[in-house]
Amino acid sequence: MCGIVGYIGYRQAAPVLLDCLKQLEYRGYDSYGVATRSDGISIYKKKGNVSNILPDASALQGICGIGHTRWATHGIPSDINAHPHLDCKGRIVVVHNGIIENYAVLKRDLISRGHTFRSETDTEVIPHLLEDAYEGNLLEAMSRIVEKLEGSYAILAISEDDNCIVAARNQSPLVLGIGDNELFAASDITPLLEYTNRVIYLEDGDIAEIHPDTHMIYQGSIIQDRQVQEIQWTPDTVQKGGFAHFMLKEIYEQPDVINRAIHSLTPQSLPSFFRDTRSITVVACGSSYHAGFIFRYLIESTCGIPVRVELGSEYKYNSIPFGDLIIGISQSGETADTLSAIKKGNCNNVPTIAITNVLNSTITRHADATILMQAGPEISVAATKSFIAQLGILLQVVNLLSGNACDAILSHAGFAIKKVLQLELGEAVHLCSSANHIFFVGRGSFYPVMMEGALKMKEISYIHAEAYAAGEIKHGPFSLLSSETPVVAICMPGPAYAVMLGNLKEMKARGTPIIAIGSKDDTELYELVDVLIPLEVEHLYLQILTSTVILQLLAYHTATNLGREIDKPRNLAKSVTVE
C-alpha cells in the first residue's frame, strides 16, 4: 500500500510527480504529497485524493523531487501525516512505502536526543535518522541508517545539499525508469509507461543513488550491475479507453484475457512440481483465494490430487503436510500474507509456485517457479480480469494434468464471456440496488464463484453481501431471510440441480426475492424466481467463467446505480503489503 515516485531530469518535477501519483492511486488514496529541490526543499501535502490537485502543488519549483500517495497505517489520514516527511531542520525529506516495525523504539530514542516529530507516522523516524547520520553525503547516510530499520520499506530521499535522489528497498517494490537524461523511481511500472519502457527492478537490500543520466546501485559497499528490462505494456493499457471506469474496461477485456491466460501455459511450461506432488496447498487472499477455492473443486474431481485452500493470513498457524506443493496466487505479487506463506514453504523445503500478474514482483523472487497470468495492468481496485486470468491458468493446469481433455471447451472461453457481456441485467440491478443485505448462494464449485460475487458486490456497492454454500443457509442464516433480503443463486442443470432448486423453493416460501443464474430453457426455475439470468453454456468450466462475469457486472451496475466510487472504493487499496 502507498505509492511512491521520484523524478530527476530536465523537466519541472512537480507536474511529473503528480501525474505519476495519479497512476499510483490504486495503492492508496487518502492523502498525497510532493517535495522538490531547487534553492531549498519545498513541500506540498494534503489529505484527500491526488486527482483533486490544488494548483500550489504543481507550482513547486525544481527538476528533482519525490512524491507519495498514502494508505494510512500509522496515524489518521491528515495533512500532517501525509508524506513527504522532513527532518528537524527541513533539509532532508523522505517518502516511504511499507512499515517500520521498530519505529516506536527509534522514535523514543530520537526524541530523547532532541528531535521534534510532527506526525504520528512510522515513516518520520527515517528523515530524523538521516539527519543524525548525515555527514555531507545522503547515500552514505542512508547506508548507515537502513541497518537500524526493521520491517518493510521502499524509501526515496532528497536533501538540500545533494543533487540526486537516494532510494532504498527492503520487501516493498521499487523500480527505476531509465529515460534520456532523466530518471524515475516508482513503486511499480504503471506511472512510468508514459515516459519510458526501460526499467530496473531493485532487489531487497539495494540502495541506489540516482542522477539524471546515471545511477549506482549498491548492496552494502558493493556496486551491483542490474539488468535494464524493456516493458511491453504501453501507456494505453493504463488509460480508460472510452469506458466510464477502469473496472468496466477491465471486465470487457476479459474475452482476450482468458484466451491469453489459457494459452500462456503449455505442457512444456507447466512446472514439473505439479506432476510430482502428492498434495497441493493453495495460499491466497481475497479474490485470489476464491480462484484457489474453485481450483480445489476442479482438480480434486478431475485428477484426484487433494488440495487445501488457505487464507494467506491464516497459513502461518497451520502445519505443512509431507510431500506438499504450495501455490501462492496473487495478482499483485506483493500481498504480504501470501508472501509470508510462500516464505514459510521456502523455510520448510516445500516447492512453491507463484501465479501472479506482475513480472518481477516480490512473490516471483521467493517462489521456485512462476506462472504469469498475462492479464495486463489492472487499475481498478476490485479484481476482475485478474480473477478471470487466474481461473484461466488454473483451468489450464487441470486440463494439462488430465491429458488436454478440455482443450476444445477452453477454446470457447473467450467467446462465451463475450456473449454474457451483452446480457441485460436491469431488473437484477434494480432488486440489488434497494437492498441492505444480499445473500449469494451456490453449491459445489459455484459456491466459491458466489463468494467472489459477494465480495465484488460488497466492495464496490457497500451493500452487505454474504456468500453461503446453499446447504448451509438452513443452519442459521435462514433467520435473516425476508422480502427485504434478495438472494442471488446459481442453479444450473447438473448433479446439484435438484437439491439447489429445493433450497430456492424453501427461500421463496419465506418471501425472499431471488435472482437466479440458470439455464435459459428452465421453465420451472423461471416460474419460481423473480429474475432469471439465462446462461447458454453447458460445460461446467464455461459456466464458472461466465457466471463470474455476470456477477461482476451485477456488482458494477448496482454500484454505479448507487453513485459509488467504482475504481477506488473507500478504505481499500489494490496492493495489500501489510499483514
* Minimum CB distance to ligand F6R smaller for 335 or for 461: 335
Q: Which cell numbers in the block locate residue 488?
A: 442471488
Using rule CB under 6 A, residue 449 touches ligand F6R: no
When asked if residue 330 is in the footprint of ligand F6R (CB under 6 A), the reply is yes
Q: Which amino acid is at 309?
A: V
Q: Does 559 bind ligand F6R (CB under 6 A)?
A: no
**Would you state the cell numbers that stand for residue 564, as one nine-digit string?**
459509488
H/E element, 153: strand 151-159
- Which listed range, 9-17, 124-132, 331-339, 411-419, lies at the site for ligand F6R (CB under 6 A)? 331-339
By C-alpha distance, which of 6, 360, 4, 3 is closest to 183? 6
DSSP string, 300-369: HHHH---EEEEEHHHHTTS---TTEEEEEEESSS--HHHHHHHHHHHHTT--EEEEESSTT-HHHHHSSE
**Least distance from ligand F6R to the Cβ atom of residue 456, Å:** 6
CB of 450 to ligand F6R, least distance (A): 15
Please choose, from the candidates 64, 361, 331, the residue with its C-alpha nearest in 3D space to the C-alpha of residue 202: 361
Phi and psi dihedrals of 537, rounded to 5? -80, 145
Residue 533: name the closest of 517, 547, 549, 544 by CA.
Answer: 517
Q: Which of 92, 133, 382, 413 binds ligand F6R (CB under 6 A)?
A: 382
**Contact letters (x/-) for ligand F6R, 267-286, by CB under 6 A?**
------------------xx
C-alpha cell at 275: 506432476
45 catalytic per annotation = no
Nearest residue relative to ligand F6R (C-beta): 286
Q: How far is the CB of 333 from ligand F6R (least distance, A)?
A: 7
Question: Cβ distance 217 to 206 under 8 Å?
Answer: yes
- Residue 82 or residue 388: which is nearer to ligand F6R going by CB? 388
Pick the binder of ligand F6R from 341, 383, 435, 500 (CB under 6 A): 383
Residue count, binding to ligand F6R (CB under 6 A): 14
Q: Per CB under 6 A, which of residues 337..356 are in contact with ligand F6R?
A: 338
Q: Applying CB under 6 A, which of residues 23, 288, 340, 461 lies at the interface with ligand F6R?
A: 288
> Of 254 and 288, which CB lies nearer to ligand F6R in the complex structure?
288
Range 53-72 burial, b when 16+ CB lie within 10 A, else e? beeebbebebbbbbbbbbbb
Residue 186 CB, nearest approach to ligand F6R (Å): 18
- Dihedral, 240, 243, 244, 246 alpha carbons, nearest 10: -50
Is the CB of 164 or the CB of 285 nearer to ligand F6R? 285
Does the annotation count 574 as an active-site position?
yes
Three cell numbers at 440?
Answer: 449469494
Residue (138 or 342) nearer to ligand F6R, CB: 342
Q: Pick the catalytic residue: 46, 107, 458, 574?
A: 574
Return the number of the residue (360 or 503) whose C-beta is nearest ligand F6R.
360
The answer to whether 31 contacts ligand F6R (rule: CB under 6 A) is no
- 422 Cβ partners below 8 Å, 6+ apart? none
Instruction: Pick the closer one to ligand F6R by CB: 330 or 503.
Output: 330
CB of 287 to ligand F6R, least distance (A): 3
CA 54 to chain centre: 28
Q: Which residues bind ligand F6R (CB under 6 A)?
A: 285-288, 330-332, 335, 338, 382-383, 455, 459, 576
Catalytic residues: 2, 574
